[in-house]
Every structure is written in structure tokens, then in C-alpha cells.
Structure 1
Amino acid sequence: MITLHETITVERTRSEAFRYISDFRTTTEWDATAIRAEKTTPGAVDKGTEFVVHCRLPLGSVAIRYTVAALEPDHYIELHGSASLFDIVDRITFDDSGSGTHIDYVAEITPKGAMRMAESALVPGMQRMGRNSLQGMQRALEDDFPAPTTSDSSRRADNLVLPGLAMFSRWGYRRGRKHWNPVSADLRDQHMVITGANSGIGLAAARQLAERGAQLTLVVRNPEKAAATVESLIFETGNHSIAAEIADLSLMHEVDQLVDRLVTAGRPIDVLVNNAGALFNPRRETSEGLEASFALLLLSPYRLSRGLQPLLAASGGGRIVNVVSGGMYSQPLEVHKLIAREKNYSGSVAYARAKRALMVVTEQWAEDWADDNIVVNAMHPGWADTPGVESALPGFHRLTRRILRSPDEGADTIVWLAAATEAGAVSGKLFLDREPRTTHLRDNTRETPEEREKLRAFLEDFRLENAAG
């Protein structure tokens, strides 16, 4: 048997350190050998919870199936793992240490088969791996990462249209994640409001944030779907701080009623995720006489965010995440075209124009609300395989389905913008795969300062009767 024993001390509470480490999916963030990890049982981490961690070896990889054998919240966890080449027992103890937490890690590895023959030769390498893992754990828990910047390779890709578009694929996601920092921020006291949370990337983001302990308010149009979503998320994550608000966000009177309910409740909002969206073909009008793309994709998040601004300010460091789309790269800001008319209507063009305008609004709010410590950023999820894409763009989906991202991959940057400490250090940016990216791939889509101010005035002064035509 090979025994590894390492200790570290971090300036985090026992509760925070335990919560992060006990969810063994985080091994991919602090163990350099871990390349993929998943939890295979539902609910909160507890005795009997199972994980599968895929680890890189000098020759190939190995899947370790872990079971939580013992757990004392905020103090101790023991996991028993089994792989083709070895069995392993991990024991991790968390104790108070001055202003922080002392973490004691012991791993007992019992080689099997051919690995048993080389046991003595493996000891130095295994001990080195143990030290590296604990150093990675310490780095993750110290959570002291610089503000995000654009890498040179991404900057070069953005200067060339086709490489820039290629970043939207699953390949772009996998390329980006090689350079990501851990996210160990504790979200248990964070209240987050997510629109469009019952499917696609909205549901994926809600699940990931619930797993991290956030208190969620999900905005869903259909009461039955809302109830089912809340029940499912509680079952999957073990997080009971999840509730739903019912609102059709394409209708401004329902947006305003939602704002009134939340403001009256007075609960500060730490993060607002404006994700609700749909691509409408053919052209539709709402019961209020508004063209549906404009109503749902631009006016709705505008009114919702403006209405909830006092609750975001009250949190002491609120964040807004506006979900846009790579389609916006094809369109300039032209305020007079934001309400699409019948003639030559295209759902994808209307969608792209609304998202372009929402990107400009993101930049304006970042400046306007800086004194309230509200951080406002936009993200686009790349090309993700969601029900909305499949139904609205069947041809695109058919051609690209082999390279589309999963909903979880598409949602990753939403979760990072909501959770990561360093994500709060920048505002008014567009993010893809946790990097600030250019807002324009072509010069002919750049708007003038005059058009930006025209947008501001148009939205500030908008009345429903303006929608006629």
C-alpha cells in the first residue's frame, strides 16, 4: 500500500473549504491528473454519494469510482475509490486554524494487478502527485485570481472572422477550459434570479448554481413547468432554497407585475441572469401589440433590470448577466429597425438586432450603475444544442449538431460570471468561455455614438403605443 499525507492551511472558513472539497467534481480544478468528474447520484453530498473521476496516467487514463463512506459536515469526509489498477481511500479532515482552516489529506492506495509489481517504483511519483494536488487545492481555496483578460490567441481569432466563429463550437469550449481558474466562491448566501430557467442553458445554469448553494428565484412562464423544474432541481441538487415566479416576459404588464412583487418582498438580489429568449418565425405580435422578438429579447430585460436595480444595489455588489448571441455579430445597431415589420421579416435577423441592442445596453448600464457597485456583463454561449435551437433553426441544427456544445457547456460562462470572484472585477464586457471578447467581428457593424444615445432615449421613453405598425 502507498500512503500519501499532505497538509495545507487556507484563509477560508471550515464550512466553505469543506463544501468545495467534499463535492469531488471539483477535483478537475485542483488535481492536475483529473480530466473529468461527475456525481452519479442525486441530492446533496452525503454518505453514499457516488462520483466518477477520470484521471490522466502516463499511459492513457483511468476511471475511479468513488463512494462517500463517512461524512461529518464541515469536519471530515472519507471516500473509497476503485479503479482497474488500484483501490484508494481518501480521508480529508478540516480543522480551525487561526483565521482559516487546516486541511489534512491522507490517501491510501492499494495497487492491483500489474501495478502491484511496480509498487515501490511508483512511490516517488505518487507522492509528488499528492503534493501537487494539495498545492492545487490551496490555490483554488485562496481564490486570488487576476481580473479576466483576452488571450493573445483569442484576440487573433477575433480579428479573423472564420476562426472567431469556430470558437462558438464545442472545440472552442474545450480549448478555453484548459486555461480556466478554479471557482471556489461560496454562494450559500447569494440570491440569484434567472429568467428562462426551465430548459436549455437557463436550466443548466440554474442546476449548476443550485449545486453551488445559491438561493434561486426562477422566472418561468408556465406554472406546471415551473413547479416541475423546482421539484427536479431540489431532487437533483439537494438545495431546497429554490422557488419560482410565474411571468410571461414577452408581456410588459407581467414584467412590471414581477418587478412589483420582487421589490415589495424587498429581498436583495446578488445576481440577475437575463436569459429568457426565443426566435420567432413567422413574425408574431404579443397581446399588447408588440413585435415578439423586440418585446422578449430587448424590452423585457431592459424593464426587468431597471425595475430590479434597487434590489441589485441593496446587495452591495450586484451582478447582471445578459445572455446575447453570436448572431449579433451580423447586425449593426439600427434603432429604427428594432421593431421588425412584416415586410421582409426574418426571425434570425430580428433576434440578432435585439441582441446587438442588448449588448449596447450592457455597456451603458455598466457605466451608469458603477457607483451602485453593480457589475453588468454580457455573454454568449456559443453554439449550444438546446431545444430552442433545434426547433427554431432546424437546418442549422442538422448541419452543426456534431460540433454543438451541450447545454452545460453553453451555460458555463453564465455560472462563472455569477459565481467567480474575479468576474466581479470587470464590467461592460462581452464574454465567451470566461474571456472578454470583441463585440464586433466586422467594422461595418460598429454603431456611432449618436446611435447609441438614440437607443438609450428610445428605451427610456418607450410606450406600448409606440409599437403600432
Structure 2
Amino acid sequence: MSLYRNAVFIAKGLREFGQSGHATASKSFNTEDLNVDASAESYMITGANSGIGYSTAMAIAKKGGTVHMVCRNKERGETAQKAIIDESQNMNVHLHLVDMLDTRRVFQFATGFVDEDKQLNVLVNNAGVMFGSLEFTEEGLEKNFVVNSLGTYVLTDTLIPLLSKNENPRVITVSSGGMYTMKLDLNNLQSRKGSFDGTFTYAHQKRQQVIMTEQWGKKYPNIHFYSMHPGWADTPSVRTSMPGFYKRFKNKLRTPGGGADTVVWLALSKAALDQENGQFYLDRKAQSLHLTFAATKSSEEEHQQLMTSLDEIAEQFKTTSST
């Protein structure tokens, strides 16, 4: 990451990403956008037991939507599920135990969901990790990449046929403003080259998610694809994965609800359906994908190659031989 990119990113973050940025932006929000009844629709949210995912699941449950929580930990998932049901009084909140580090399990879960022909109107790719050291799965894949990039790709790609059966289906991927600091590097998708830095790795994979969203939006115009930045929010993952960042900026962070607001808006509002497909959002508005003069742009050919690479890696996991 260049010093210039980092400096411009921090300046932009202090101005727009924190609690004050959200407070300023929210003054222009149309409160009627979320005056909706979601009882006829079904929503899948990964990483739904805490932080942005939990706040999103709670907000949608309160609007009457059927919520499918995809979580890794049974105890935390059940606790969150009960809290959402109790507060929303919505019994249609379901828990699915899926570890996004297990790509084969992700594929099997999504395939089973499609085979059962369950209704699915909106997918929210929220689950994410930031391992601070270079670690690999049994298949030899870097763990951050497996969850953040490959998991998002496999789950979305497998569920597209089911989503396509509905009118105005949506896919929302929770990316990060950190992607502004990174350019796509096809030769280092899994951070094997050079010294490893968990923060840079995470930012690179968030850039990959934004590109995936653009590419899916072009390929499947019948589905509304969005990526978004929740801003700098006070979530458990920020506290544990970025303790230095949290210590420095904790008094400027948004609440988890503030971070989830744009996810909820993209998932529920009719206004979001009028937006151009494949864009990146912050505070309910489409944003530029690059900082000025930051040299982070890559070519359409490179973007297509990213999708090809993800598909080739995913192919080895596409088996339902075990459950």
C-alpha cells in the first residue's frame, strides 16, 4: 500500500466513514424507503450472529421477512436466533450451521437449499474474517481468501438459479472501504508472495468482492447486485481483528446498526431497485470505486480472469458426496 493511498484513505475515512459521517449522510435519507412489509420475502444472511449481520437480520425480521441465518458457531447462532425472535416476535427466523472456511460444506448447503426449492429473494454476503497470520486449509488455500473471496463466490454462484426464480432478486455483499487501498493482483490472490499482512490481505479480498459484484451485475441483469461499505463500525470483529485501529478510532465508530443501515436499505427498499447494477455503496449512495490518483484500477480482462480463477478453484469442491 502506498503512503499516498493510505493518507487519502484515512482522510476520507475520518470525513465519511465514522459516526459523524453517517450522521451527516442520514439527514438526507428518505424515511419512507424502509416503510415496507417484507413478510412475503425470504432473506439469507451469512455471519448473522453478531455485528453487521445480526443488526441486518434483526431489522429484516422486524419487517416480517423470513430470515435464514448462516452461522459457524452453534451456541452463538442459537443465542442470536432466540434474541431476534424474542425482540421481533417473528418466528420465521431459521439457523443454518455452515463454516465458510469449509468450501465443500458451503457448496453442499447452497445446493441443498436450491434442491429443496426454498424461496430466496435476497442474499446478504456478510461473513468475513481477518486472520493475522498466514494460515492454510487442508486443501492448501489461504484461509482469509477462502472465507472472504471463495466463500462469497461459491455461495452466490450456486444460489443464482434459485434467486432468479423471483421478481427483483438481490445480492448484497458487505465489502469494506479498505478496498480503496488495494489494486487487484491476479498473481497474488492468496497473499503467498512477499511479507504477509492480514489487513492488506483483507483489503485485497474486499477489492475482489467489489469486482465480483460488477461482473455478476453484467452477467445476470435480472438480479440486482450491490457491494457496500458499512463504514467504520464498532463490531466484535473490528475489536478482535483490528485492536490497534479500534483503540485509535473507537470514539469515532458507528454503531453496528449504523453500519448495517445501507445493507438493510439495499435489501428492502424499492429505491434500491432503481440503481444501476453492480455498484458500490456507502450511506445509501453509489460511490466511486477508486481514490483519485491512487492507481488502483485494473482492466476488464483482469476482472474476467478473476472470475475464471475463482471458478477454477471452486470446481474442486463441487461435490455432494457427503453431508
Q: Calculate the TM-score normalised by the size of structure 2.
A: 0.91
Alpha-carbon offset, residue 283 of structure 1: 1.6
The count of residues paired between Structure 1 and Structure 2 equals 305
Residues of 2 paired with 1:464 and 1:416: CA distance? 34
1:202 to 38, 41, 53: 53
Which amino acid letter does the alignment assign opposite residue 171 of structure 1?
S
Match of 1:308 in 2: 159
**In the alignment, what sits opposite 1:112?**
none
Q: What residue in structure 2 maps to residue 164 of structure 1?
A: 12
- What CA distance in whole angstroms lies between the structure 1 residues aligned with 2:9 and 2:196? 26
Partner of 2:42: 191
> How much has 1:284 moved relative to structure 2?
1.6
Segments of structure 1 that go 5 or more residues without pairing to the other structure are 1-159
Question: In the aligned structure 1, how far is the partner of 2:161 from the partner of 2:167?
Answer: 10
Whole-angstrom distance in 1 between the partners of 2:314 and 2:282: 34
Question: Counterpart of 1:278?
Answer: 129
**Higher relative contact order, chain-length normalized (CA < 8 Å, sep 6+):** 2
Higher percent of residues as helix:
2
CA distance in 2, matches of 1:331, 1:415: 27
Q: How far is the alpha carbon of 1:161 from its aligned partner?
A: 5.2
Q: Secondary structure at the match of 1:378?
A: strand
Partner of 1:428: 278
CA distance in 2, matches of 1:219, 1:463: 20
| Overall identity of the aligned pairs, in % | 35
Question: 1-side partners of 2:261 and 2:71: how far apart?
Answer: 21
> Which structure shows the bigger proportion of residues in strand conformation?
1
CA contact (8 A) 1:289 1:464 kept: no
SS of aligned partner of 1:461: helix
1:17-416 counterparts in 2 under 5 A? 164-165=12-13, 166-181=15-30, 182=32, 183-341=34-192, 343-370=194-221, 373-416=222-265
Alpha-carbon displacement from aligned partner over 1:69-89 (angstroms, at most 9, x marks no partner): xxxxxxxxxxxxxxxxxxxxx
Q: CA deviation at 1:172?
A: 0.7
| Cα offsets for 1:146-189 (capped at 9, x unmatched) | xxxxxxxxxxxxxx756532200101100011000122121011
| Gap change, CA 1:386 and 1:352, over 3 Å in 2 | same
Alpha-carbon RMSD across the aligned residues, in angstroms, is: 1.6
Structure 2 CA distance for aligned equivalents of residues 437 and 208 of structure 1? 24
What's the secondary structure of 1:413's corresponding residue? helix
What is the Cα deviation at residue 343 of structure 1?
4.3
User: How far, CA to CA, are the matches of 1:385 and 1:391 in structure 2?
Assistant: 11
1:321 is paired with a residue whose SS is strand
Asked if structure 1 preserves the Cα contact closer than 8 Å seen for 2:176 and 2:206, the reply is yes
Give the C-alpha shift of residue 299 in structure 1: 0.5
Q: 2: distance between equivalents of 1:266 and 1:362?
A: 24
State the distance in 2 between where 1:161 and 1:283 align: 25
1:282: Cα distance to partner?
1.3
Q: Distance in 1 between matches of 2:98 and 2:213?
A: 23
* Superimposed CA distance per residue, residues 253-276 of structure 1 (whole angstroms, 9 cap, x where no aligned partner): 111111122112201211000000
Q: Does 1:459 pair with 2:310?
A: yes
- Secondary structure (helix, strand or coil) at the match of 1:314 reads coil
Aligned to 1:344, the other structure's residue is in SS state coil
How many Å apart are 1:463 and its aligned residue?
A: 5.1
Partner SS state of residue 124, structure 2: strand
In terms of mean alpha carbon deviation, does 345-354 or 160-169 score higher?
160-169
CA distance in 2, matches of 1:282, 1:162: 24
Superposed CA deviations along residues 355-379 of structure 1, whole A, max 9, x for unmatched, are: 1011011001111110xx2100011
**Alignment CA distance shift 1:463-1:316 (3 Å):** closer
1:408-448 CA-partner distances (Å, limit 9, x unpaired): 00000000000010101222111100011111114400112
The answer on whether the counterparts of 2:53 and 2:126 sit within 8 Å (CA) in structure 1 is: yes
Q: Which amino acid aligns with 1:174?
A: A
Q: Which amino acid aligns with 1:307?
A: T
**Aligned: 1:445 with 2:296:** yes
**How far apart, in 1, do the equivalents of 2:186 and 2:292 lie?**
19
Q: What does the per-residue CA deviation read over 1:111-141, in whole Å, with 9 as the maximum and x for residues that have no partner?
A: xxxxxxxxxxxxxxxxxxxxxxxxxxxxxxx
Q: Residues of 1 paired with 2:287 and 2:50: CA distance?
A: 26
Structure 1 distance, partners of 2:312, 2:254, is 39
SS of 1:266's equivalent in the other structure is coil
Residues of 1 paired with 2:120 and 2:85: CA distance? 20
Deviates more, 1:301-310 or 1:441-450: 441-450
Gaps of 5+ in 2: 1-7, 318-323
